[in-house]
């Protein structure tokens, strides 16, 4: 009798765990701004933001920050304008709460060989000095920073982490992990954002995420007052710079020609936002 009772309790716990997981699945499929694509976001934003703050500080401690006052000022000026545009976009779409806990920070890392930039959830942004010659000016830099901030506000990292959690724990195990051990997401965060031995390098986003970030990023830079048409020239320069070993920013993007065609097709949408800022 005790064995049967114990088995019933186990099955009940499993059903409860599965039900809890299903609730998580249903309630966490948030939509990205602009595209309205729905993605699975199982990790609480507050937890993800807290982890990003810790890991960002580790990146800064392990890096040499630029002391070029002019370049640093440009990065922070462009970053603040993109940040303000992202806050405005999310407020307009009723998602203002997604970004209210962001603590924006923009730093320029001294590394001429690295053509890269990234944004962690919570608004922690790094740009590498190797990117600046290709960006050329504020418009070019806004293309890249808009793209990277778009990854953050579209919660692409959370989506990758959620997929990792499901793959590691399964449906029932995931619900228990979230309920009993919130800290279990730490290692998956490290993998999803590529923070660790290769400091400053993100693991590749999917092509879907990259294309979505292109679209949202164009809107962000336009709302910030930067001409989205400059994105075409920026990515042409980036592709020309690629050679046999493309910059990190191109690692998982669609083929250069098709990608630029896609961006060209998105310019009219972004220009609607830009006209309002002139």
- Tell which wins on pLDDT, 161 or 93: 93
Separation CA 34–CA 93 (nearest Å): 9
Give the predicted TM-score (pTM) of the model. Answer: 0.79
- Please report the pLDDT score of residue 51 as a whole number: 83
Tell me: the pLDDT tens digits for 15-34? Answer: 434 434 444 444 456 788 99
Please count the other Cβ atoms lying within 10 Å of the Cβ belonging to residue 64: 10
CB 141, CB 75: distance < 8 Å: yes
What phi-psi label fits residue 68: left (phi over 0), alpha (psi between -120 and 50 degrees) or beta? beta
Report percent pLDDT > 70 for the chain: 67
Tell me: the pLDDT tens digits for 93-123? Answer: 888 888 888 999 999 999 999 999 999 989 9
What residues contact 208, with CB distance under 8 A and at least 6 apart? none
Pairing relation of β-strands 38-40 and 117-120?
unpaired
CB 213, CB 147: distance < 8 Å: yes
Q: How big is the chain by its Cα radius of gyration, in Å?
A: 20
Catalytic residue among 55, 138, 148, 248: 148
Tell me: the pLDDT tens digits for 58-79? Answer: 999 999 999 999 999 999 999 9
Separation CA 3–CA 259 (nearest Å): 61
- Beta bridge partners of residue 107, listed in sequence order: 126
DSSP letter at 268? H
Q: Which residues of 94-128 are buried (b: 16+ CB within 10 A; e: fewer)?
A: eeeebbeebebbbbbbebeebbbbbbbbbbbbbbb
Give just the sign of the alpha carbon dihedral 251, 255, 260, 266. negative
The chain-wide mean pLDDT, for the chain, equals 79
Concerning whether 148 is annotated as a catalytic residue, the answer is: yes
What phi-psi label fits residue 38: left (phi over 0), alpha (psi between -120 and 50 degrees) or beta? beta
Whether 275 shows a pLDDT value over 50: the answer reads yes
CB 119, CB 148: distance < 8 Å: yes
């Amino acid at each position: 009798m005790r064995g049967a009772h114990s088995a019933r309790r186990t099955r009940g716990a499993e059903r409860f765990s599965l039900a809890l997981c299903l609730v998580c699945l249903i309630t966490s499929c948030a939509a990205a701004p602009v595209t309205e694509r729905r993605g699975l976001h199982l990790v609480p934003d507050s937890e993800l933001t807290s982890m990003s703050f810790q890991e960002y500080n580790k990146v800064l401690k392990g890096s040499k920050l630029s002391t070029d006052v002019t370049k640093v000022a440009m990065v922070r000026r462009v970053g603040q304008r993109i940040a303000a545009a992202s806050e405005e976009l999310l407020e307009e779409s009723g998602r203002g709460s997604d970004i209210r806990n962001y603590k924006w920070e923009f730093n320029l890392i001294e590394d001429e060989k690295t053509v890269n930039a990234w944004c962690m959830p919570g608004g922690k942004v790094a740009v590498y000095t190797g990117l600046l010659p290709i960006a050329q000016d504020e418009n070019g830099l806004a293309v890249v920073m808009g793209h990277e901030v778009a990854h953050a506000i579209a919660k692409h990292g959370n989506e990758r982490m959620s997929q990792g959690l499901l793959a590691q724990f399964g449906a029932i195990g995931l619900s228990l992990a979230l309920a009993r051990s919130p800290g279990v997401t730490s290692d998956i965060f490290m993998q999803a954002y590529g923070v660790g031995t290769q400091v400053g390098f993100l693991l590749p986003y999917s092509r879907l995420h990259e294309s979505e970030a292109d679209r949202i990023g164009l809107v962000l830079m336009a709302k910030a007052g930067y001409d989205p048409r400059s994105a075409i020239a920026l990515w042409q320069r980036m592709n020309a710079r690629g050679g046999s070993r493309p910059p990190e920013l191109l690692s998982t993007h669609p083929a250069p020609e098709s990608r630029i065609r896609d961006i060209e097709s998105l310019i009219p949408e972004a220009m609607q936002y830009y006209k309002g800022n002139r």
